[in-house]
Amino acid sequence: MAGSIIKGIVDSGLVSGQQIVAHDPHADKLAELAKATGITAEIGNEEVVAAADMVVLAVKPQVFPQVMEQLAGRIVAKRPLVVSIAAGITLAHLDGWLGPDVPVVRVMPNVNVAVGAGMSAVAGNSVASDEQIEQVRELFAAVGHAMVLEERLFPAFTAVAGSSPAWVFLFIDALARGALAAGMTKQQATEAACQAVLGSAKLLAADSGRHAWQLIDQVSSPGGTTVAGLHTLEDRGFGAAVVAAVAATIKREAELAQSAT
């Protein structure tokens, strides 16, 4: 995720590679990223904190406490703007590690930042200024779209934007497998399904005042093929399964947040 974000913001021209320093325990991956983007590869996290005015913590929630143990003192002493993209790690958790005087912005990006089409949510703690929050929003908007969102809504956002790409990939694969059974090649079917999903999302996003069901009705002719497919999806519980998946994701985020305390 960090590599995709770095590539995206460098490619956008918002930040140059020379302005970025990074550390990764996988030295070979970091060297490859540095060669591709012009960033400076540091030998440790402490060196990154020492060099940076903005520190982006792009680590998994399971290792976040360990990283904070290592860096909290240095961050508190320097007071850079801290940005965290760890799922389930709340602003309250971060304030607990860093104290009340360090500006912190929490971001929830999704995997689509890798192709400049990400969706990210941004929220700041009480110390982070509006200007700092907007600075972070602009940074992540460079790799897609980013919105400022109340942190209490992050669990729902994680489900609807952070985890859902995996479900969309599953949907696309299922569409392709269905067409494969009818004689299309997997490559043909996957290409057609990808473009259909991409175009459908763009069509709905182009008119924010239009409800999804209005477009469904537009595609569905009485007694036609689309209606037959819709009835099958509803009979098999498609809509209910998606709602349940969102609820399960929100529950899991709460469990991750609890384990981080």
Residues 196 and 241 in one domain: yes
Segment 201-260, tens digit of pLDDT? 999 998 767 789 999 999 999 999 999 999 999 999 999 999 999 999 999 888 877 776
130, 149, 168: which is the final residue of a domain? 149
Among the listed residues 57, 76, 86, the one whose alpha carbon sits nearest the alpha carbon of residue 259? 86
Residue type, 94: L
Identify the domain containing residue 241 by its residue range. Answer: 157-258
Residues 124 and 171 in one domain: no
Length of the chain: 261
Residues 145 and 35 in one domain: yes
Segment 118-170, tens digit of pLDDT? 999 999 999 999 999 999 999 999 999 999 999 999 999 999 999 999 999 99
Please state the pTM of the whole predicted model: 0.86
Residues 181 and 224 in one domain: yes
Residues 192 and 143 in one domain: no
Segment 28-39, tens digit of pLDDT? 999 999 999 999
Residues 190 and 134 in one domain: no
Residue type, 158: T
110, 125, 149: which is the final residue of a domain? 149
Residues 236 and 114 in one domain: no
Q: Residue 222 has which token pair?
A: 């009485």
Tell me the C-alpha to C-alpha distance, in Å, between residue 218 and each of 56, 212, 226: 44, 10, 10
Residues 58 and 102 in one domain: yes
The CATH number of the domain holding residue 85 is: 3.40.50.720
Residues 45 and 123 in one domain: yes
Residues 101 and 203 in one domain: no
124, 149, 174: which is the final residue of a domain? 149
